């Protein structure tokens, strides 16, 4: 796993500004108010900060923007980063401002002189999230360079360090998710994925791997039919975090883990198929969330279940027209083998309910291309059978700055799944493709279980930088789910 940028916290030391190497960051309000560290930096640079504040460039600056003074006179640092930031900024604004510093940091050392800024803990999280790069398979060059440290100085550094700890736990879980989603499929096989999850027993998670023979015994035939064309064995991994009251029903998180998706016999076009290494994004988010909960010692019972398969064409692969019986007992006519994620999820969701009788269930999947058409890359699609549960998640996502939008369910969409020869088809045609996928999954949700389906096809991995991440895997969802657990399930 990529090592998260370590951040150390220390008492404000104005004298350290002169001798700090790498980059030094100071905070200035949009009105041009200087705190003591900024005033010291201004003195060291013989008024350079004041001259900046009087410039047209500063007049046009927005809160959250950084203006860099290169090789500032009177300081050892190679750059003085002037962060324009409102005193009463929101948590998301502070986090995004920290991300700007994290992006600028690169491999250099960074000293952030935050003074008495109240959301310095969120600054730290933003730095950790954005100062990330996936270099596991690069050789030579910058990838072998040891990154410089990050030091955040604050007038009440012990309080900020304490409040930053759970935020940095979420950041570490997010980075785990990014690493999993970024990994190529020849590295992150189903076996390797399961192995990485088993390593989290060191954090206090209980981890169990269900192999193919056990899955067959349980009747998970829809999940197994997806992976039967691959040499990689299908698996289900169960991760339990028991931090709440003994015997209290857990929240169940269920993730689609298709480590590579060719489409099977319904083969995808060659162009862009390399991106299908990210089709395990839902399982990646579940894994990262479980890591975050364990690291921050969440006072809740949460179980994470991921179905790990590879969808490949072969002489043993499932064919269009085949009929498969789910663990629940419903029969499914396979119309398109590229609509495989719902076949994985439905068995794992049913198993989660049968074994754990959860207080609520959230499934996550890079499920449909139709979701990208509907919402682009800014928001995940949310579907639910419970208004209160869904609203709690949407609030959590908004607080954490992770976009999500609720879409409808309904019988008219359900009718599109009718099959002539089985209980249902696995696709309902082109119209409302994301909704019919959710309707399919809803058939495997018990009446008394609050449930949310999150289609993260557009947000799991994107081809341009975001505020919080470089292009590639985003880690979307770890922060929102951790917040949901804190708001609704922690005792």
CATH number of the domain within which 55 lies? 3.40.220.10
Same domain, 34 and 143: yes
Instruction: Answer yes or no: pTM beyond 0.95.
Output: yes
Active site residue 342: yes
Same domain, 143 and 204: no
CA gyration radius for the chain? Answer: 24
User: What's the structural domain count of the chain?
Assistant: 2
Same domain, 124 and 259: no
- The answer to whether residue 1 sits within a structural domain is no
Range of the domain at 460: 171-489
Average pLDDT over residues 267-279: 97
Confidence of residue 141 (pLDDT cuts 50, 70, 90): low
User: Is residue 330's pLDDT more than 90?
Assistant: yes
Same domain, 129 and 191: no
Same domain, 108 and 249: no
Active site residue 221: no
Last residue of a domain, one of 154, 185, 200: 154
- Phi and psi at 39, nearest 5°, equal -65, -40
- Model confidence over 205-222: pLDDT tens digits? 999 999 999 999 999 999
CA 345: distance to chain centroid? 19
- The answer to whether residue 103 sits within a structural domain is yes
Query: What whole-number distance in Å separates Cα of residue 264 and Cα of residue 162?
Result: 49
Q: What is the largest CA-CA distance in the chain?
A: 82
Helix (H, G, I), strand (E, B) or coil at 82: strand
Q: Determine whether 408 is exposed, middle or buried from the number of CB atoms within 10 Å of its CB (0-12, 13-18, 19+).
A: exposed
Specify the length of the chain in residues: 491
Q: 228: Cβ–Cβ under 8 A, 6 or more apart, which residues?
A: 234, 316, 317, 318
User: Is residue 142's pLDDT more than 70?
Assistant: no
**What's the confidence (pLDDT) of residue 165?**
98
Catalytic residue, from 103, 130, 342, 443: name it: 342
Query: What whole-number distance in Å separates Cα of residue 369 and Cα of residue 156?
Result: 48
Q: Alpha carbon of 277 to those of 132, 217, 375, 381: distances in Å? A: 19, 29, 22, 21
Q: DSSP alpha helices (H): ranges in 149-201?
A: 157-182, 190-198
- The answer to whether residue 160 sits within a structural domain is no
Pairing assessment for the beta strands 360-365 and 451-455 based on DSSP bridges: parallel
Percent of the chain at pLDDT above 90? 98
**What's the confidence (pLDDT) of residue 147?**
83
Helix (H, G, I), strand (E, B) or coil at 333: strand
Catalytic residue, from 86, 268, 395, 406: name it: 268
Q: At what angle do helices 281-295 and 157-182 cross, to 10 degrees?
A: 160
**What's the confidence (pLDDT) of residue 144?**
58
């Amino acid at each position: 796993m990529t090592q998260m940028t370590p951040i150390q916290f220390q008492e404000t030391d104005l004298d350290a500004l002169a001798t700090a190497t790498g980059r030094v960051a100071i905070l200035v309000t949009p009105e041009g108010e200087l705190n003591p560290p900024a005033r010291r930096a201004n003195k060291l640079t013989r008024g350079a900060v004041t001259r900046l504040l009087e410039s047209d460039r500063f007049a046009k600056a927005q809160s959250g923007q950084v203006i860099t003074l290169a090789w500032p006179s009177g300081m050892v640092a190679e750059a003085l980063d002037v962060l324009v930031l409102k005193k009463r900024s929101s948590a998301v604004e502070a986090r995004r401002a920290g991300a700007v510093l994290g992006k600028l940091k690169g491999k250099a050392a960074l000293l952030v002189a935050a003074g008495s800024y109240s959301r310095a803990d969120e600054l730290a999280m933003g730095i950790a999230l954005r100062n990330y790069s996936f270099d596991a398979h690069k050789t030579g060059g910058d990838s072998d360079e040891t990154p410089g440290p990050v030091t955040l100085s604050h007038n009440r550094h012990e309080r900020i360090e304490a409040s930053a700890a759970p935020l940095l736990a979420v950041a570490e879980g997010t980075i785990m998710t990014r690493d999993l989603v970024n990994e190529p499929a020849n590295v992150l096989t189903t076996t390797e994925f399961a192995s990485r999850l088993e390593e989290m027993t060191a954090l206090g998670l209980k981890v169990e791997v269900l192999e193919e023979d056990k899955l067959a015994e349980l009747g998970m035939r829809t999940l197994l039919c997806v992976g039967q064309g691959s040499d990689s064995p299908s698996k289900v991994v169960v991760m339990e975090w028991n931090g709440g009251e003994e015997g209290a029903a857990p929240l169940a998180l269920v993730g689609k883990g298709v480590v590579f998706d060719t489409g099977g016999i319904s083969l995808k076009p060659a162009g862009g198929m390399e991106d299908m290494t990210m089709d395990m994004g839902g399982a990646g988010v579940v894994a990262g969330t479980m890591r975050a909960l364990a690291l921050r010692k969440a006072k809740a019972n949460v179980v994470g279940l991921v179905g790990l398969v590879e969808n490949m064409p072969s002489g043993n692969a499932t064919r269009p027209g085949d009929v498969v019986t789910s663990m629940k007992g419903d029969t499914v006519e396979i119309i398109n083998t590229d609509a495989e994620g719902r076949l994985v999820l439905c068995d794992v969701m049913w198993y989660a309910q049968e074994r754990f009788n959860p207080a609520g269930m959230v499934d996550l999947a890079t499920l449909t291309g139709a979701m990208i058409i509907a919402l682009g890359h800014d928001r995940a699609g949310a579907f639910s059978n419970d208004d209160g549960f869904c609203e709690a998640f949407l609030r959590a996502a908004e607080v954490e700055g992770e976009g999500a939008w609720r879409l409808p369910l309904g019988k008219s969409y359900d009718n599109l799944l009718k099959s002539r020869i089985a209980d249902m088809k696995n696709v309902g045609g082109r119209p409302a493709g994301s909704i019919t996928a959710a309707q399919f999954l809803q058939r495997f949700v018990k009446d008394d279980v609050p449930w949310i389906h999150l289609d993260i096809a557009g947000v799991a991995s994107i081809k341009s930088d975001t505020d919080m991440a470089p292009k590639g895997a985003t880690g979307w969802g770890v922060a929102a789910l951790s917040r949901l657990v804190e708001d609704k399930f922690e005792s």
